[in-house]
């Protein structure tokens, strides 16, 4: 039974389907592991025991009748604390939303529940999702799986920790600038950033609506594919037959490999070697317009975030962690004209990206140029906080700014991920490539 806590979600689902795993016993194993874990309250904001047990019982009855709704019917997963759950507080890691209890599930929660997923509870996150570090002195900072003195990455920090520490078979998070991919990379998981607009945001606490996306943090590419199907209430892509032979990838040089620290750099180069050995053609690529896009993000993100949250924040600014408060307030400096001009310029940058990458199956880059920073130093050293936070999200933000689907895979080096960026709406093709790359990296 202990093995259940480390198995992939899909393997658990297959076990349920074959009658080898009882969904009720599986859920109880996870609930017991959560309640006994020393980091329980740093990972989970709230554990939904009653809901999980009721959903597991329903899954068991469906399995007994041969009426399972998906491969993951009866598999327990966690939800980032910005997805509305009926009757259970959803506070988005912020004291500003303390006591906020939705009356209905978010659309993605409703879809996943209809497909049979079991809700274990709500996981901690960066305050209002506005940090890539996962540091949250207000409600809780989960531990990184390889270094308990380091932050786990954010903003889907608890989602990653719940899976990495064996306290959920999969986690659902959100990604506005890297918030699924950074914690996935730093905790040796697979993370999928979906194309903006693909997965419903209804019932999800927003940060920047034009960049917000929903996606899974998982133990395998197969899990990520099936969890995407849960979110949409649809069918997962067929990952069989994926092959790297003859595939053409770009090795992104611009921005993504600046200030690349030793461990992530070495892990990335070794990953490139493995993909090449598996038959992939990998070509260096420069996209100079990316430099302009990265600069624009300062206006685009902070202006929208502050516009959405200004009234709530300024009614009680002392309730916020000062570093996060400062990030939001940076959005009050841009004019409406600045914001419109920035979006116009970004569209030009996207056109340049599309032209430069049109001959490739995907674009490769290190998921993060740094390893997880030290928690105590982040709390005491402002300059370190600013530097590490900006670097943490720099590479992943490329995918958001360019409007792409993106996937991070473990490289085998702790805390170091390989990012694959595909075209907008290309999740199925990207997951198939990712499955082949996963095999080459194993």
**C-alpha–C-alpha distance, residues 191 and 181, integer Å:** 5
Residues 227 and 269 placed together within one structural domain of the fold: no
Residue 441 in contact with residue 412, Cβ under 8 Å? yes
Q: How far apart are CA 343 and CA 340, in angstroms?
A: 5
DSSP 143: P
Report pLDDT for 254. Answer: 98
At 20 the pLDDT is 97
CA atoms within 13 A on the CB side of 86: 9
Model pLDDT for residues 184-206, shown as the tens digit of each residue: 999 999 999 999 999 999 999 99
Place of tokens 């990379």: 185
Q: How confident is the model at residue 242 (pLDDT cuts 50, 70, 90)?
A: confident
> Is pLDDT of 380 > 90?
yes
Is the residue at 13 inside a domain? yes
| pLDDT higher than threshold 90 for residue 2 | no
Query: 321 CB contacts (<8 Å, ≥6 apart)?
Result: 127, 136, 137, 138
Boundaries of domain holding 418: 248-291+331-441
Kindly report, residue by residue over 283-325, the tens digit of the pLDDT. Answer: 999 999 999 999 999 999 999 999 999 999 999 999 999 999 9
For the record, the structure tokens of 36 come out as 């006994």
Q: Running DSSP on this structure, what letter comes out for residue 207?
A: S
Residue 419, pLDDT > 90, answer yes
pLDDT in the model for residue 241: 79
Given CA atoms 131, 137, 143, 148 in this order, what sign does their dihedral have?
Answer: positive
In this predicted structure, the answer to whether residue 397 has a pLDDT above a threshold of 80 is yes
The full length of the chain comes to: 442
Per-residue confidence (pLDDT) for residue 1, from 0 to 100: 61
Over residues 9-36, the pLDDT tens digits come to: 999 999 999 999 999 999 999 999 999 9
How far apart, in whole angstroms, are the C-alpha atoms of residue 129 and residue 206?
A: 8
Percent of the chain at pLDDT > 90 equals 99
> Each residue of 65-124: pLDDT tens digit?
999 999 999 999 999 999 999 999 999 999 999 999 999 999 999 999 999 999 999 999
Q: Which residues are catalytic?
A: 80, 155, 179
- Average pLDDT for residues 416-422, to the nearest whole number? 98
Domain count, the chain: 2
Exposed / middle / buried, residue 91 (Cβ in 10 Å: 0-12, 13-18, 19+): buried
Strands 214-218 and 171-174: antiparallel
Check pLDDT > 90 for residue 334: yes
Question: 367 and 269 in one domain?
Answer: yes
Examine residue 220 and state whether it is found in any structural domain, yes or no: yes
Q: What is the mean pLDDT of residues 336-347?
A: 98
| Residue 197 and residue 258 in one domain | no
Q: Are residues 205 and 86 in the same domain?
A: yes
For residue 89, what is the domain's CATH number? 3.90.1300.10
Q: What is the mean pLDDT of residues 155-159?
A: 98
Shared-domain flag, residues 263 and 184: no
Both 141 and 27 in a single domain? yes
At 340 the pLDDT is 98
What percentage of the chain has pLDDT greater than the value 70?
100
For residue 284, the model assigns a pLDDT of: 98
Q: Are residues 202 and 259 in the same domain?
A: no
pLDDT digits (tens, 9 = 90+) for 211-239: 999 999 999 999 999 999 999 999 999 99
In DSSP terms, 421 is beta-bridged to 363, 406
């Amino acid at each position: 039974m202990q093995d259940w806590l480390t198995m992939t979600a899909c393997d658990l689902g297959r076990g349920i389907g074959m009658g080898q795993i009882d969904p009720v016993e599986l859920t109880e194993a996870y609930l017991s592991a959560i309640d006994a874990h020393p980091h329980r309250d740093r990972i989970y904001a709230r554990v939904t025991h009653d809901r999980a047990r009721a959903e597991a019982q329903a899954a068991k009855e469906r399995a007994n009748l041969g009426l399972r709704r998906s491969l993951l019917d009866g598999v327990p997963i966690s939800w980032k604390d910005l997805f509305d759950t009926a009757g259970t507080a959803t506070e988005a890691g912020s004291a500003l939303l303390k006591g906020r209890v939705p009356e209905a599930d978010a659309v993605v929660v409703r879809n996943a529940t209809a497909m049979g997923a079991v809700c274990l509870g709500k996981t901690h996150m960066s305050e209002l999702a506005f940090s890539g570090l996962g540091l949250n002195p207000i409600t809780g900072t989960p531990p990184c799986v390889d270094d308990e003195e380091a932050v786990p990455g954010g903003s889907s920090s608890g989602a990653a920790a719940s899976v990495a520490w064996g306290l959920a078979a999969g986690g659902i998070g959100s990604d506005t600038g890297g918030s699924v991919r950074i914690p996935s990379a730093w905790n040796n998981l697979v993370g999928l950033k979906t194309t903006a607009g693909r997965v419903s945001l209804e019932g999800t606490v927003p940060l920047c609506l034009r960049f917000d996306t929903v996606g899974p943090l998982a133990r395998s590419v197969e899990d990520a594919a099936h969890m995407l199907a849960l979110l949409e209430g649809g069918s997962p892509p067929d990952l069989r037959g994926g092959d790297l032979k003859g595939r053409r990838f770009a090795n992104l040089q611009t921005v993504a490999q600046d200030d690349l620290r030793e461990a992530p750099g070495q892990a990335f180069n070794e990953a490139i070697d493995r993909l090449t050995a598996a038959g992939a053609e990998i070509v260096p690529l420069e996209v100079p317009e990316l430099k302009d896009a990265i600069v624009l993000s300062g206006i685009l993100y902070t202006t929208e975030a502050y516009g959405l949250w200004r009234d709530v924040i300024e009614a009680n600014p002392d309730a916020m962690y000062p570093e996060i408060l400062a990030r939001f307030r940076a959005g009050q400096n841009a004019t409406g004209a600045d914001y419109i001009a920035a979006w116009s310029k970004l569209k030009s940058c996207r056109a340049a990206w599309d032209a430069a990458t049109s001959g490739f199956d995907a674009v490769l880059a290190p998921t993060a140029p740094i390893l997880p920073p030290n928690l105590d130093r982040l709390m005491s050293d402002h300059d370190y906080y600013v530097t590490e936070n900006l670097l943490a999200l720099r590479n992943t933000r490329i995918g958001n700014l360019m409007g792409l689907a993106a996937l991070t895979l473990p490289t085998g080096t702790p805390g170091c991920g390989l990012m694959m960026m595909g075209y907008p709406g290309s999740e199925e093709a990207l997951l198939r490539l990712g499955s082949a790359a996963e095999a080459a990296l194993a």
